[in-house]
């Protein structure tokens, strides 16, 4: 049972959040200790309305093209990668990728989310040539290569992060997905054998923002991290966004443990009510990031819909193809019509967007 002093402190902190005051990391710990989820949801919904007063909820139709599953890393939460030399390893040639993109365009898609493993020796020409061809042939938005891939490319080419990003942008790269963010605390990253440390992940985004390339910030939780580590993750994202803005969205999702080494230790998924609580805290903590996405793919469409009342103004992608978290147990599926109907049923106006959150429809 909370003391009267603690209750008063929580009430005061919630009032300061409502007044749009920034709380410190320590103050957020006190909020997370005691604030009711419904109240956090109400405040997050208020902030969402302030940032998006037209009640539009966006979504994207795109395709997750995984050009290769060969990876030198061994993240314990990953069911996608194959070690170099594995008979199950693959690298798609350009023609295979073109046919996937053509299918995506036929289905009304606006862009490609392209990510892969950390291939030990695929040359930079493979990536730049592919972007150039995709842009020239189809003129689509190219949302490609998460910070671990970019950090890896920077190292194996010797060009550094800025050199690699300049080459990729010249070839057609439009924006960068925030994959590999997981929890930005090295203690938990080392335990989960996550590729690239906190500073390396943030540095890629810092350089991208300096070059004017939009990015997304993510969080994958439910892999044994502590409450304080989740809050520290928000703090690191907020610090970067304040110093050098460029995150256009925050996308939290939950560990899918099936077929992963870590799944033996943490077989249980984060439940919907816990997801919604952290979605609301993320919306409020990261108040300088304009958009927040609810992850229907990992939580199911029902929780995704509820997320629209806990601070989210985006319902993500129809995911025409997904190969990374699906093998780990994310089996939810939704079509464009299903997403639009869900958005309307919750009282919002659906609108298609690009991967950089530029709206496409009126």
- Is the CB of 148 or the CB of 172 nearer to ligand SF4? 148
The site for ligand SF4, by CB under 6 A, has a size of: 11
- Is the CB of 72 or the CB of 107 nearer to ligand SF4? 72
Choose, by CB under 6 A, the member of 31, 101, 113, 118 that binds ligand SF4: 118
Q: Which two tokens stand for residue 112?
A: 């490609």
Q: For ligand SF4, which stretch binds (CB under 6 A), given 25-33, 76-84, 307-315, 334-342?
A: 76-84
User: For 21, which DSSP code?
Assistant: P
Choose, by CB under 6 A, the member of 109, 117, 178, 257 that binds ligand SF4: 117
- For the CB of residue 17, give the shortest distance to ligand SF4 in the complex, in Å: 34
Contact string 175-214 vs ligand SF4 (x = CB under 6 A): --------------------x-------------------
Query: Could you give the count of Cα atoms lying within 13 Å of 322 in the half-sphere of its Cβ?
Result: 19
Give the CA angle between residues 83, 328, 339 to the nearest 5°: 130
Contact string 132-161 vs ligand SF4 (x = CB under 6 A): ----------------x-------------
User: For 89, which DSSP code?
Assistant: -
- For the chain, the first-to-last Cα distance in angstroms comes to 51
Contact 184, 198 (CB under 8 A): yes
Q: Which of residues 239-278 bind ligand SF4 (CB under 6 A)?
A: none
Query: Could you give the count of Cα atoms lying within 13 Å of 106 in the half-sphere of its Cβ?
Result: 6
Query: CB-based contacts of 2: which residues, under 8 Å, 6+ apart?
Result: 10, 34
- Is the CB of 118 or the CB of 248 nearer to ligand SF4? 118
Q: Which residues pair with 114 in a beta bridge?
A: 65, 144
Q: Which residues pair with 199 in a beta bridge?
A: none
Residues that bind ligand SF4 (CB under 6 A): 71, 73-75, 78, 80-81, 117-118, 148, 195
């Amino acid at each position: 049972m909370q003391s009267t002093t603690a209750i008063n402190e929580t009430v005061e902190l919630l009032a300061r959040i409502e007044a749009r005051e920034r709380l410190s990391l320590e103050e957020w710990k006190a909020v997370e200790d005691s604030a009711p989820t419904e109240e956090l949801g109400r405040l997050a919904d208020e902030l969402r309305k302030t940032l998006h007063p037209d009640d539009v909820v966006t979504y994207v139709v795109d395709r997750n093209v995984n050009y290769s599953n060969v990876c030198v890393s061994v993240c314990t939460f990953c069911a996608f990668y194959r070690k170099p030399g594995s008979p199950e390893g693959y690298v798609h040639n350009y023609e295979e990728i073109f046919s996937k993109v053509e299918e995506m365009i036929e289905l009304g898609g606006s862009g490609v989310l392209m990510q892969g493993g950390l291939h030990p020796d695929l040359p930079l020409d493979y990536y730049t040539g592919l972007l150039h061809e995709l842009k020239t042939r189809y003129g689509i938005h190219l949302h490609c290569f998460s910070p671990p891939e970019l950090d890896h490319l920077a190292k194996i080419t010797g060009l550094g992060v800025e050199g690699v990003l300049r080459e990729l942008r010249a070839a057609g790269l439009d924006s960068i997905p925030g994959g590999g963010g997981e929890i930005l605390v090295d203690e938990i990253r080392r335990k989960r054998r996550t590729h690239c440390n906190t500073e390396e992940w943030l540095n890629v985004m810092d350089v991208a923002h300096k070059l004017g390339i939009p990015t997304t910030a993510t969080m994958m939780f439910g892999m044994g991290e502590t409450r304080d580590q989740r809050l520290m993750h928000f703090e690191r994202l907020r610090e970067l966004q304040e110093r050098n803005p460029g995150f256009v969205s925050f996308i939290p999702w939950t560990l899918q443990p099936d077929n992963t080494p870590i799944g033996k230790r943490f077989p249980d998924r984060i439940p919907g009510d816990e997801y919604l609580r952290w979605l609301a805290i993320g919306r409020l903590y990261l108040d300088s990031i304009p958009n927040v996405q609810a992850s229907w793919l990992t939580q199911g469409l029902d929780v995704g819909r509820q997320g629209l009342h806990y601070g989210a103004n985006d319902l993500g992608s129809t995911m025409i193809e997904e190969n990374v978290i699906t093998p780990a147990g994310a089996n939810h599926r939704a079509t464009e019509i299903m997403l639009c109907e869900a958005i309307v049923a919750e009282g919002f106006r659906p609108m298609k967007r690009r991967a950089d959150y530029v709206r496409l429809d009126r």
